Structure 1
Amino acid sequence: MADDLSLAPTAAVAPTSCTPLPGYRRRSPGSRSASWLLGAALLVSLLALLPLGFVVGVSIQTGWATIVQLVFRPRVAELLGNTLLLLVLTLPLCVLLGVALAWLTERSDLPGRRTWSLLAVAPMAVPAFVHSYAWVSLVPALHGLPAAVLVSVIAYFPFVYLPVAASLRRLDPALEDVAESLGLKPWQLLLRVVLPQLRLAIAGGALLVGLHLLAEYGLYAMIRFDTFTTAIYDQFQSTYNGAAANMLAGVLVLCCLLLLWAESASRGRARYARVGSGSPRAQRLQALRGAARYGAWLLPLLTTALALGVPLLTLGHWLLAAGIAPWQAPELLPSLRQTLELAALGALLTTCAAVPVAWLSIRMPGPLLRLLESCNYIASSLPGIVVALALVTLTVKLARPIYQTSISLFLAYALMFLPRALVSLRAGIAQAPVELENIARSLGRSPLQALWRVTLRLAAPGAAAGAALVFLAISNELTATLFLAPNGTRTLATGFWAMTSEIDYAAAAPYALLMILLSLPLTGLLYHQSRVTAGR
């Protein structure tokens, strides 16, 4: 799925790790080792383009006449209308809620600000389809667009809150002091000084929310709201790799690319860095007085009740009502074991695949490496169902021996989640001085040995953080696993989905609880990294 990359802040990079000192000549890597790494990076990036190439190839093969017949029809118009309404209604609400909570927890004297800040990030530990499960089991009549907007907002607003809160911590209050000295009122300061400096954080968070809205399947299938993702899955189930499903995937990819373009265009060319001597002063907190002080409690309290209270209370209800029986189900422990095995091996393989691109982008930067790196980010923005559909088609036609095997499943995980490992690895390698590699090579080590024994050891914390992000993403992945997993594979996500499809909410509760417990470390990691990066 669409992933949350901008939520993984990179550590500050020491100047000597990226830029040689004056008069220093960087020792070029051995040609053979560099060729191997470049070849590996090229292979990884070409594989990342498989889903996009699949969509283009199928469109060409289908022909214009058939494309017009399949795309320009009432059903596609209905799905497009649902998607646009979902984006238009959900994105502004997520932005408003995320920015408001960020301001309250970072720039006001709201009592318990640190606790409310942690609670605002905590909903990320609950998979989106578990949010939907909780609300549907609480209000069975909940369905359609209003339900989709409600559940989407409470599931995805942390993707806006986290980058905006991190940006607010780093803002220098000197600009606000100058604006206040010119007579601007507090609300004018917020609109004319603070919000413009948050443009990048808001745009990045909104992009993550939008990509999740386009890619999500379980949430909307459960509340009976048709989107392109649910329609593609239903079409595939009924016709198996039919042209209609492929054309729906093409329209969905176009929507994702348009969203990426809109986010890029919204950045503008303004500079956001502070220029001046010295370091920025500590943030000044806005005093909340009178009714505003008590009213400010309502927003985080209501948000926490909806985003955390409803899932936890619903799970508690079903667990208490069912007793010990669901925990004794013979499929539960094997599902947990398979989830851990797939997530651990998938995280290891994905992190290893990211090493060549990460190392070359730091040690040998250039247009080619920037292009190869961009290929991986573009691929990760495509919905998981498109990636799965592409791999199903390609393996059936070109590589049938790996069809519906662990190989195709791990390939899908790598295509979807490699940027999560890449971002953290780049930061770790950038902090490992190139001089140490050169010293190791002067002592007779090959470039690959120097990379393995020196650089990767120093970059181990970044690699571990990236692997943890991939691990937890795989542990909650649903769509690609449903499409590609070998027969007999049952993860916590697919087991949960099987139980809820049978309306057995009590049996599904243990699966949901275990997924939340596995996701809690990711939430803590993101929260900790965002505060460390901001120096708090």
Structure 2
Amino acid sequence: MLAPFGVERLPPIYGFGGAVLALTLSSYPYVLLSVRAALQRCDPAVEDAARSMGDTPWQVLWRILIPQVRPAIAIGALLAALYSLSDFGAVSLLQFETFTRSIYVQYRGSFDRSGAALLSLVLIGLTLGLIGLEQMISGRPSLSRTTCAVARPRRLADIGLWRWPAAGYAAVVTMLGVGMPVIALGYWLIRGLLNGQTLDTLWRPVMNSLIAAGGAAGVTVLAALPLAVLAARFPSRLSRMLDAAAYTGYTLPGIVVALALVFFGANYVPWLYQTLPMLMFGLAVRFLPQAVGSLRTTLQQINPRVEEAARSLGRKPLTVFAGVTLPLMLPGVFSAAALVFLTSIKELPTTLLLSPTGFPTLATVIWSATTEAMFTQAAAPALVLLAISATAMTVMLMHERVDH
């Protein structure tokens, strides 16, 4: 079919190029959601003041907006980098040798775990270096308004002819990240249905995935709130250490975290071993930094004088947090929950090792089918996984529009 165009064979997708493409398309939402939540908290009056002083739109972008969202950019980039370092499924399917794949092979193929432990330590060192770089780039600037007045709503900007390149760029990214997978999976699904494949067994993995990912999102956000408040409102050496330590679970490969929890559960809390709470706890350990980063950035953009004013009226700290701070944090809370949900529902190593017996999820069903090259059986659960992710994002965006 491609011969008339002079192309007889497409380049192979396996290896470094395919892994980079897959991980980029998988992880760019981390940056997108983090920066989007930060932009929604920026006061447009500051931009108007800069324009009234003679600044051009480009000057406003680089001198006003970029410094305000720099922590969100750094946090999103850090999450994307950590995700790429700890990814297991994509690099394994695309046959690219990484730390996580090597660790998995060491654990499965050898009785001596020292090689896997050494690789894990190197991976931890890389992650600590990334965390230190993020701390240097983002800093801890004050991102809130200098007054207690309520910021006016944002208005859409007319970018003129630039809207066509912008729309084209968004279309290309959407096509690569969503359109191409949907077309390929649709092709395999149709082939499977034509060959007699049924969808009767799909509902159980769907429900299991929703329960596990939804519970993990709730647990993770609740655990991240105190850490975010401590880092944003009470900066100290201890809070910085706790903030950095929160990223430890995310930096470790899922296989390492899961095996550690398997050892802990089997030896110390056997009544929790291979139960749903243990699976949720493992997912929360893995993805706690996603929630901490989003909530911390949101808190940094809320003027602490608003809380001080509420406490000066006699309200207790918990009442101020529940009645004043938390409502202002809702965009960040929903972004954090969405990130954890979307990542948890497709997490593979943790789910493989910590799931209760007879608890199939969409991720494990897809993995089992693809490892045996049965792509027609993997198409339906993969499409459902895409649909669930899109639905979660749509609900979050609709809620944010109502709030704004």
Same fold, judged at TM 0.5 (above): yes
Q: How far does residue 496 in structure 1 lie from its aligned partner after superposition?
A: 0.5
Partner of 1:237: 108
> How many residue pairs are counted as aligned between the two chains?
374
Cα distance in 1 for partners of 2:355, 2:170 equals 40
Q: How far off its partner does 1:502 sit?
A: 1.0
Corresponding residue of 1:285: 157
Structure-1 residue corresponding to 2:4 = none
Match of residue 310 from structure 1: 180
**Counterpart of 2:372?**
502
Q: Matches of 2:146 and 2:23 in 1, distance apart?
A: 39
Q: Which residue of 1 aligns with 2:354?
A: 484
Give the one of 47, 70, 84 matched to 1:173: 47
Counterpart position of 1:382: 251
- Pick which of 165-174 and 492-501 moved more: 165-174
Bigger Rg, which one? 1
Match of 2:203 among 308, 320, 333: 333
Answering whether residue 395 of structure 2 is matched by residue 521 of structure 1, we say no
Q: CA RMSD in A?
A: 4.7
Structure 1 residue 252 and structure 2 residue 252: aligned?
no
The correspondence for 1:209, drawn from 80, 95, 112, is: 80
Deviations for 1:168-210, whole angstroms, at most 9, x for unmatched residues? Answer: 45253235425645xx6x5555445543443223212211211
Please tell me whether residue 158 in structure 1 is matched to residue 32 in structure 2: no
Residue 323 of structure 1: SS of its match in structure 2? helix
| Structure 1 CA distance for aligned equivalents of residues 175 and 228 of structure 2 | 44
- Alpha-carbon distance in structure 1 between the residues aligned to 2:235 and 2:69: 30
1:145 alignment partner, one of 13, 16, 28 = 16
Q: What TM-score does the superposition give when structure 1 sets the normalisation length?
A: 0.57
CA contact (8 A) 1:326 1:507 kept: no
Task: Select the structure with the greater relative contact order (CA < 8 A; seq sep ≥ 6).
Answer: 1
TM-score (norm 2): 0.72
Shift of 1:526: 4.2
> Which amino acid in the other structure matches residue 260 of structure 2?
A
- Percent identity between the aligned chains? 29
User: Where does 1:263-412 land on structure 2 (aligned, <5 Å)?
Assistant: 263-268=134-139, 271-275=142-146, 285=157, 287-289=159-161, 294-323=164-193, 328=198, 331-343=201-213, 346=216, 357=226, 370=239, 374=243, 377-383=246-252, 384-395=254-265, 404=274, 406=276, 408-412=278-282
Q: Deviations over 1:354-382 (max 9, x none)?
A: 78x589969x9797995796477334433
- SS of the equivalent of 2:251 reads coil
Aligned mates of 1:310, 1:280 — CA distance in 2: 40
CA distance in 2, matches of 1:194, 1:340: 37
1: CA distance, partners of 2:163 / 2:315: 59
Aligned to 2:92: 221
Tell me the amino acid that sits aligned with residue 318 of structure 1.
W
Residue pair 1:318, 1:506 contacting (<8 A) in 2 also? yes
CA deviation after TM superposition for structure 1 residue 212, in Å:
1.2
Q: 1:139 to 1:322 in 2, by over 3 A?
A: farther
Q: Aligned to 1:415, which of 285, 305, 327?
A: 285
Paired residue for 1:12? none
- 2: CA distance, partners of 1:298 / 1:360: 40
User: Does structure 1 retain, via aligned residues, the 8 Å contact 2:228–2:295?
Assistant: no
Deviations 1:436-473 (A, max 9, x none): x999xxxxxxxxxx99xxx79x9899799577765554
For residue 385 of structure 1, report the CA deviation from its aligned partner.
Answer: 2.9
How far apart are the structure 2 equivalents of 1:381 and 1:309? 29
Structure 1 distance, partners of 2:147, 2:346, is 45
> For 1:151 and 1:157, how far apart are their aligned partners in 2?
10
Would you say the 8 A contact 1:343–1:474 is kept in 2?
yes
CA distance, structure 2, for counterparts of residue 366 and residue 272 of structure 1: 15
The 10-residue stretch of structure 1 (171-180 or 207-216) with the greater mean CA deviation from structure 2: 171-180
Deviations 1:113-136 (A, max 9, x none): xxxxxxxxxxxxxxxxxxxxxxxx
In the alignment, the residues of structure 2 paired with residue 366 and residue 190 of structure 1 have an alpha-carbon distance, to the nearest angstrom, of 28
Residue 196 to residue 337, structure 1, CA distance change in 2 (3 Å): closer
2:363 alignment partner in structure 1: 493
Secondary structure at the aligned position of 2:347 is classed as coil
Superposition deviation, residue 340 in structure 1? 3.6
Q: 1:272 to 1:375 in 2, by over 3 A?
A: closer
Instruction: Identify if the C-alpha distance between structure 1 residues 351 and 268 changes in structure 2 by more than 3 Å, giving closer, same or farther.
Output: closer
Counterpart Cα distance in 2 of 1:371 and 1:140? 46
Code of the aligned partner of 2:250: S
Question: What SS is found at the alignment partner of 1:198?
Answer: helix
User: Could you tell me how far apart the structure 1 residues matched to 2:315 and 2:236 are?
Assistant: 24
8 A Cα contact 2:250 2:285, kept in partner = no
Change (3 A) 1:307 1:470: closer
Provide the C-alpha distance between the structure 2 equivalents of 1:338 and 1:224, rounded to a whole number of angstroms.
29
Asked if 2 retains the 8 angstrom alpha-carbon contact of 1:166 and 1:531, the reply is no
User: In the TM superposition, what is the alpha-carbon distance from 1:525 to its structure 2 partner?
Assistant: 4.3
2-side partners of 1:142 and 1:370: how far apart?
44
Long gaps (5+) in structure 1: 1-137, 440-449
Residues 513 and 282 (structure 1 numbering): CA distance in 2 closer, same or farther, change over 3 Å? closer
| CA distance 1:520–1:342, change in 2 (3 Å) | same
Q: Distance in 2 between matches of 1:359 and 1:165?
A: 18
2:157 counterpart SS class: coil
Q: Contact 2:338/2:396 (CA < 8 Å) preserved in 1?
A: no
Shift, 1:495, TM fit:
0.4
